[in-house]
Amino acid sequence: MSEAPPTGSPLRFATTLLTRQPRAVALLVVLNAAIIGMTLVTPLLTGLAVERIDAGDLSGTDGAFAAALGIALAGLLAATFSAAAGVVNSRVSAEIETDLRSRLYRHFQVVDPRVLDARPTGDLISLASTELFPIAQFFGNRLARGLQGVVTMVLAGVIMVWLEPLLALLALAPLPIGVVILATYTHRARPKLLEARRAMGALSTSLQETLAGAATVRAYARESEQREHFARAAERVLDASLAVNRMGARSLTAVDMLPLLGSAVVVIVGGRLAISGELSVVDFSVFYTYVVMLVPSVQAVGVTLGQAQPAFASLRRVLEALQAPAQRSPSDPPLPAAPAGVRMRGVRAETPGGDPILDRVDLDVPPGGTVAVLGTTGSGKSTLLALVNRLRDAGGGSVEVAGVPVGEVEIGSLRHAVGTATDDNFLFSGTVRENIAFARADASLDDVQAAARAAQAHDFIAALPDGYDTVLGDRGVGLSGGQRQRVALARALLAEPAILLLDNATGNLDALTEAAVLDELDTARAAAPATRIVVGYRPAVLRRADEVVVLEDGRIVERGTHDALLLASARYRALVGVDADGDPEGGAQ
């Protein structure tokens, strides 16, 4: 079940991520408050110890020894609370990363396919992997430390003003300069960081394409060119990252120096006041301890703001992906149990760039009927099939299944009713049985074998080293093209669909095997008729169809039976590659 897409700004989205872990966040608030309390009480205990030493009281109930024990206890408690907060921070960070990765994965499954088509696969993989680390680290770990630094600075500043207003003004005066520097850095770094994240996505795409197309790269001896392409992508990542790092180094170093400047002024002015007797040495030591405390607090805030930039750059990209429109709506009614005919009226489809693929297509496939589609390359055949199970959505017109527009039914029920096999089916890393049973997780081995027999795949599967338990490599490595095609066809048949879409699904088979597969399909059709839309060019496929339609430039230009078109259309004969008598053109070979 899909989630509602997140709305609002990246900051609002980050807030929702944290509120999904209310107990952990509440515990972090308590632990950090305790750490701040122990940190702020330590200078007061130090002042008490100095005062008792000056008075010669070392071992009394409120003497220097007791103050020293208090300092040690405060330090021990602060360390204990810090360790506990570190564990909770790590848990929050891991939960955020897991939450985002799961949400992206679920959204990729339901998002409009055109969104996925418009983005490189490597970029999407980067989005669900490397992009999540800076987000999780910042909001699960760094943010708490930065807020702890801010609160510590504010409370320390209040105490300093209470102790000695003039010195407090001198010590805190440089801090507004730091705010200006950090604001400038944030403004300048944001576009560079976004550029760096996008460059990382392009780098992931380059790597993914090189690995997926390794055989093609080697076949054309293009290894050196691919290495150069990858090196250029890596160089863009490096350049963008270095630009951000240089800006951060200059800005954050300047911010770190500001409290040290205030500290030096306090030593000079406070020292003079202490020498003149206007300020006691004890008060000066307490005050100076708070000044020193500002240094790590300011540094913590600076580091936090520095890490905020890559985190928000990645968060913007993740939020943009999650806000892409989903294709399915769980509230839609399921596909009715009526006979599953297919009806198209005035259907149009376009590429992501707006170029037409299909133009005003009308098609009727009655329940249990078979329509064959053929046409030249790029005429829109595969797109036509994809409209039926909404692997694509029409840009105009209507597509109906079982008398209902496909956009008005729950998409899962629609796809359960449609089985698909193509000439380039994807096989997963796993056993042969798992790949076939992917269409129906509860299928028994007998069911899997029956589907394999219908697809003429059982004999070669049984001859594999481990039969149906043979493990296939990535994308079905280990099988020939025809074997992969038959395994995929068996998967489609196992689903026992009401509608079967075959996109040149027997194109890699020899004539005898193809004929056997088609005979099995006809037998199954007689027992449980499925509506079929078939893309193919071989007469063995076309003559079994109730109607054949010819596509050209996205429009249906001819329709009729195979025999009628064979006699009437030279275009049809050229596509099929036979003469008017059904013999191969050019004579028998």
475: left (phi over 0), alpha (psi -120 to 50) or beta: left
Highest average pLDDT, of 48-57, 204-213, 261-270, 392-401, comes from: 392-401
Q: What amino acid occupies position 423?
A: D
Chain segment 333-382, per-residue pLDDT in tens: 787 776 788 999 999 988 777 788 888 999 999 988 889 999 888 888 88
Strand pairing category for 396-401 and 404-405: antiparallel
Tokens of 572: 């049809």
Give, as one character, the DSSP assignment of residue 59: S
Q: Indicate the angle between helix axes 281-322 and 64-110, nearest 10 degrees.
A: 10
Chain segment 137-161, per-residue pLDDT in tens: 888 888 888 888 889 888 888 888 8
Q: Indicate the angle between helix axes 481-494 and 511-527, nearest 10 degrees.
A: 0
**Residue 589: its pLDDT value, please?**
36
pLDDT band at 80 (very low <50, low <70, confident <90, very high): very high
Give me the residues paired with residue 534 across strands. 372, 502
Helix (H/G/I), strand (E/B), else coil: 365: strand
**Residue 133: its pLDDT value, please?**
86
More confident residue, 514 or 55: 514
Q: Is the per-residue pLDDT at 194 higher than 80?
A: no
pLDDT band at 244 (very low <50, low <70, confident <90, very high): confident
**Residue 287: its pLDDT value, please?**
82
% residues pLDDT > 90 (the chain): 6
Q: Is the per-residue pLDDT at 1 higher than 50?
A: no
Over residues 173-194, the mean pLDDT reads 74
Question: CA 199 to CA 579: how far, in whole Å?
Answer: 55
90-115 b/e (C-beta count within 10 Å ≥ 16 → b): eebbebbbebbbebbeebbebbbebb
Contacts of 320 (CB under 8 A, 6+ apart): none
**Residue 542: its pLDDT value, please?**
87
More confident residue, 220 or 507: 507
What pTM value is reported for the model? 0.68
Chain segment 452-488, per-residue pLDDT in tens: 888 888 888 888 888 888 888 766 677 777 888 888 8
Q: Is the per-residue pLDDT at 534 higher than 50?
A: yes
Spell out the domains of the chain, with CATH numbers in brackets.
10-322 (1.20.1560.10), 332-417+498-589 (3.40.50.300), 427-496 (3.40.50.300)
Question: Contact 175/254 with Cβ under 8 angstroms?
Answer: no
Chain segment 290-301, per-residue pLDDT in tens: 888 877 887 788
Question: Contact 401/342 with Cβ under 8 angstroms?
Answer: yes
Question: CA 241 to CA 343: how far, in whole Å?
Answer: 54
Q: Is the per-residue pLDDT at 330 higher than 60?
A: no
Q: Is the per-residue pLDDT at 386 higher than 70?
A: yes
Q: Is the per-residue pLDDT at 56 higher than 80?
A: no
Burial of 436 (0-12, 13-18, 19+ CB in 10 A): buried
